[in-house]
Amino acid sequence: MHILFIADPLDSFKIYKDTTFAMMREAVKRGHTVSSCEVRDMRWTQKHTDGSTGVVADTQVISLTGQVGQGWYEASPLQATAIKAFDAVVMRKDPPFDSEYFYATHLLEQAEREGARVFNSPRALRDHPEKLALMEFSHLAAPTLVTRDIARIKAFHSEHRDVILKPLDGMGGVGIFRVRDDALNLGAIAETLTADGTQTIMAQRYLPAIKNGDKRVLLIGGKPVPYALARIPQGGEVRGNLAAGGKGVAQKLSASDLKIATELGATLASRGLLLVGLDVIGDKLTEINVTSPTCFQEIFDQTGFDVAAMFVDAVEASI
């Protein structure tokens, strides 16, 4: 197969932990050809100079050198290529899910109409915003409020006394605040996150089980990876995100992890979500990540379970 990865700039990859790199490495190991581009490299033209129409991108074939650091790949010259020409397209652009990401999903959906196979499905990416997708499965979640009304946020805190406030478009723990029983700075935090009531945010009851980790449970083709990565807050932090200094500890799925994963797996896969990252604290679902779920390499390094191989198996089976 020839697989196109749409990702952030390759030179930004930290290959010792980058999930997209792990996917590429496994694909190359199996003899597949790997190309890459960025979202900005895609375009649609009603009629190209060669008479063709459709979505194209300036892509480059990637060869892996086996080196660590900036020299980890070699790339061919950029070449304009129809997205539909690839056997599979893996969308791995990191959040934020901003207007440009939104437009990219529409370009990719048009590429699908032209015959491309895109993972995850562009429409499914739009239909499952990573924090708001939780609303459909609220019976699995802790008490949660989505609003931009500051008075309602204060009332939610008054009811639950210890809450987490976070923006809807963040990643890596950016913009997450805990407000305890004393409500210290609640007004200022709510005003800042909502931009004085003009931007919607999420509030959730604080879950003490975060001390044991914010678990990333991966679903591939609707099936759970047997190990989760518990991201454990360090140094008094409330955030377990690895980008915020959390410690990643791989562990077998608990009975409650498996129950949540099994309940959601087939449903999400049927909607075109080949790879999903569920965030679970204790026995509560807190987020459903669909843009570029990570933790492949951390799980492999600690357990030996090859998540990248399971992912490429699923891509191959879908073609």
Catalogue the active-site residues. 131, 166, 216, 231, 239, 279, 287, 289
Here the tokens at position 235 are 């140094």
73's tokens: 């790949």
What SS3 state is found at 48?
coil
Is 226 within 8 Å of 253 (Cβ atoms)? yes
**Which residues make Cβ contacts (< 8 Å) with residue 282, sequence separation at least 6?**
207, 208, 209, 210, 212, 256
41 class by beta-carbon count within 10 Å (0-12 exposed, 13-18 middle, 19+ buried)? middle
Closest by alpha carbon to 42, among 128, 101, 107? 107
Angle at 50 between CA 47 and CA 52, to 5 degrees: 45
The torsion of the CA quartet 286, 292, 297, 299, rounded to 10 degrees, works out to: 20
Contacts of 246 (CB under 8 A, 6+ apart): 173, 213, 214, 231, 232, 233, 234, 237, 239, 240
Sign, CA torsion 247/252/256/259: positive
Which three-class secondary structure state does DSSP give residue 85?
helix
Residue 209 contacts residue 285 (beta carbons within 8 Å): no
DSSP category for residue 77: P
